[in-house]
Amino acid sequence: MLGLPVHKRARTGLVILVPALVVLLAQPVAAAAPVADRWVQTYPEAQNDGLSDACGFPVTESGVETISVSTFFNQDGSLREVVLHVRGTWTETNATTGLTASQTYVRSYFHAFSGTPTLVGMANKVSAGGVIAVDAGLLTWVFPDGDVLKIAGPHPTFFDGIDWCGILGG
């Protein structure tokens, strides 16, 4: 999953979070009262088959994400906005050489489950002995095709992905 451009990773993450949002919205709520939910997702070290196949050497990954969903309602009780906050750290490791790279992010998605989410924050920071790439600022795109509607700031990983094989290959 880490080798994907950020908009594809975001799409994958949102697919996982939609069932949680459905449960969250199904609960009775007083009109105009925001609803928030927060959890931590830990991903133990495991082989990343996609990167291992692409790179030609075994790659393992582990990660942790703190996720919160805040749902806001209008006075009449109708849905106004859903804001998704995700903070994460992932570590990719070349299992042969021990070389590691990390990806960290602090992202807020406004209108998170709409067809045109807006991401603000540090979407990606990739490091391996120093910062390799930073993807930050504001980005609004169309689901599911990824057409960009608004952009501010550098977003190289959104468009080009991350060359994990080059980084981990040394």
DSSP H helical ranges for 27-101: 49-55
Rounded to two decimals, the pTM is 0.74
Residue 66 · residue 88 · CB < 8 Å: yes
Question: What pLDDT digit, counting tens, does each position of 36-77 carry?
Answer: 899 999 999 999 999 999 999 999 999 999 999 999 999 998
Question: What pLDDT digit, counting tens, does each position of 131-163 carry?
Answer: 999 999 999 988 778 788 999 999 888 888 899
Report the chain's C-alpha Rg in angstroms: 17
Question: What is the distance between the alpha carbons of residues 47 and 120, in angstroms, rounded to a whole number?
Answer: 30
- Residue 146: both structure tokens together: 């990824």
Does the pLDDT of residue 117 top 70, yes or no? yes
Sheet arrangement for strand 100-110: 35-47, 59-73, 79-94, 100-110, 118-127, 131-141, 148-152
Does the pLDDT of residue 23 top 60, yes or no? no
Q: To 5 degrees, how large is the angle CA 95–CA 89–CA 12?
A: 95
Does the pLDDT of residue 1 top 80, yes or no? no
